[in-house]
Amino acid sequence: MTLKLTVNGQVREVAVPLNTPLLNVLRNDLALNGPKYGCGLGECGACSVLIDGMAARACVLPVSAAAGHDITTLDGLSQNGQLDPVQQAFIDAQAAQCGYCLNGMIITIRALLNHNAQPSPQQIRAALEHNLCRCGTHVEILQAAQRAVV
Ligand code: FES
């Protein structure tokens, strides 16, 4: 089955079974490696993408459910060579240890800021509650998220 997906502002065609996880399509068919495979169960957040500006877990989302929506991956956050302010904040705060979880952290904070430009520290914590960092750099990640609030 051929599907048209709008990914990072471009219409892309893929020929995959409708129940293929969106994450597999993004990584394997479209060579977009921003979203990471972590748990594959919708629990860690490493695979997060934006669907119409809201965070979604691409490992458990069938590709057919994403068709007709605007899909944004970490790869598509920067515009005209400029990093998204959330990406820049994570660099400035040196929030990464291994960095594997940061795709999901950045996407989740971008989604939060999309509908709440001035989240409280408690709201930031709540938004990141289900994004896991196995290195334990949660303090730096929270500081980075706070830096992204302007
Ligand atoms: Fe999707 Fe963990 S890989 S939530």
| Total domains present in the chain | 2
Query: Is residue 66 classed exposed, middle or buried when 0-12, 13-18 and 19+ CB atoms within 10 A define those classes?
Result: buried
Q: Domain containing 107: what range? A: 85-147
Could you give the CA distance from residue 101 to residue 37 in angstroms, rounded to a whole number?
A: 10
Q: Is the pLDDT of residue 1 over 90?
A: no
Query: Considering only CA atoms, which residue is closest to atom 4 of ligand 1?
Result: 42
Ligand 1: list residues with CB < 6 Å.
Answer: 37-40, 42-47, 57, 59
pLDDT in tens, 4-16: 999 999 999 999 9
**Mean per-residue pLDDT, 123-132:** 96
User: What tokens appear for 30 in the block?
Assistant: 């479209």
- Considering the domain architecture, whether residues 92 and 62 belong to the same structural domain is answered as no
**Most informative mutation of 26, 33, 36, 39 for ligand 1 (most atoms within 8 A of CB):** 39
> What ipTM does the predicted assembly reach?
0.98
3-class DSSP state for residue 94? Answer: coil
pLDDT in tens, 69-113: 999 999 999 999 999 999 999 999 999 999 999 999 999 999 999
Could you give the CA distance from residue 90 to residue 38 in angstroms, rounded to a whole number?
A: 20
Q: How far is the CA of 122 from the centre of ligand 1 (A)?
A: 23
Here the CATH number for the domain that contains residue 72 is: 3.10.20.30
Beta bridge mates, 12: 5
- Considering the domain architecture, whether residues 25 and 70 belong to the same structural domain is answered as yes
